[in-house]
Amino acid sequence: MSHTTAPAHLIENCFYEGERPLFGLKNHTLDRVKIYPGESALKHSEDLITRNCEYMGKYPYWHSNNIVIADSLFTPYARAAIWYAQHIHMKNCVVDAPKMFRRVAYSIIENTRFTDAGETFWNCHDVSLHNVELAKADYVFMNGEELQIENMKLQGNYSFQDARNVVIRNSYLNSKDALWGTENVTVHDSILEGEYLGWYSKNLKLVNCTIRGGQPLYYAEGLVLENCKMENTDLCFEYSDVQADVISTIDSVRNPKGGWIHAPEIKEIIIDEHCLSPGACKIVQTNQVNV
């Protein structure tokens, strides 16, 4: 997905509106073009470089392929702008519209801010994000696969539900119910803030992370924490198979299913009549007598 030379044809300093004004456009550069209200302005387009453009119409890039979008603005009227597309490279953009990417593949998004990101990045695969900010971002990345994310700031609940094969680095997620039902997700050097983190996950690995919020990491299989902090977390790990190396105090642990938990201190350990396998999880408090 790259343009070694500029496309042969240039469109600049003009506007389009209505239905499908540039439908099927191929091998063009668009510079300082405005897409006014209407639908599907560039549907089925291919091999485009677009820069300094403004989008005010719905669904401009459905079924598009090999598109560079740089230094551009998607207004709130440009909702659901990029669906069923592949090889999209978006950089240095501002996106004020929701439902931005769906069923998009083999794409890169960098240095871009999403101000109203609800229901964005659904069913996407093989997508990389670098230096992005997503606000009002409920239900982002649902059912995503093969995602690589670095330096992301996310504010919105229910993120990454049922996502698979994801790597997140150097990011901040303020997200209740994040990472539910995920499989093969690894998070490095990040802050995960919000209740009910990682329930029903498989092979979730958190490395050098800070976890904040109540009742995290229930019903998890193959859960690994390496060199992590847990702040204001209570009732952790219920019914989970866990290998946890925690370097901070944990407020409380309840009914883990198996594995081991190492922490300097755990203020309360709850093993009650609802525990599935009492004694199967080895809990070690390095500042106290082992349990």
Say what the pLDDT of residue 13 is: 98
What does the pLDDT profile of the chain (291 residues) look like in tens digits?
455 466 779 999 999 999 999 999 999 999 999 999 999 999 999 999 999 999 999 999 999 999 999 999 999 999 999 999 999 999 999 999 999 999 999 999 999 999 999 999 999 999 999 999 999 999 999 999 999 999 999 999 999 999 999 999 999 999 999 999 999 999 999 999 999 999 999 999 999 999 999 999 999 999 999 999 999 999 999 999 999 999 999 999 999 999 999 999 999 999 999 998 999 999 999 887 544
pLDDT of residue 290: 47
| Per-residue tokens: 140 | 């982002």
149 to 6, 129, 170, 218, 224: CA distances (angstroms):
28, 5, 9, 24, 19
Is the CB of residue 255 less than 8 Å from the CB of residue 239? yes
Bridge-based pairing state of the strands 223-231 and 241-246? parallel
Q: How far apart are CA 154 and CA 171, in angstroms?
A: 8
> The tokens of 224 are what?
């690994």
Q: What is the pTM of this model?
A: 0.94
The gap from C-alpha 208 to its chain's centroid, in whole angstroms, comes to 18
**Residue ranges per structural domain of the chain:** 1-83, 98-285
Q: What is the pLDDT of residue 5?
A: 62
Q: Looking at residue 291, what is its pLDDT?
A: 44
Where residue 58 falls (left for φ over 0; alpha for ψ -120 to 50; beta otherwise) is beta
In this structure, what token pair is assigned to residue 275?
């525990």
C-alpha distances in angstroms, 143 versus 86, 137, 146, 220, 253? 17, 15, 10, 18, 30
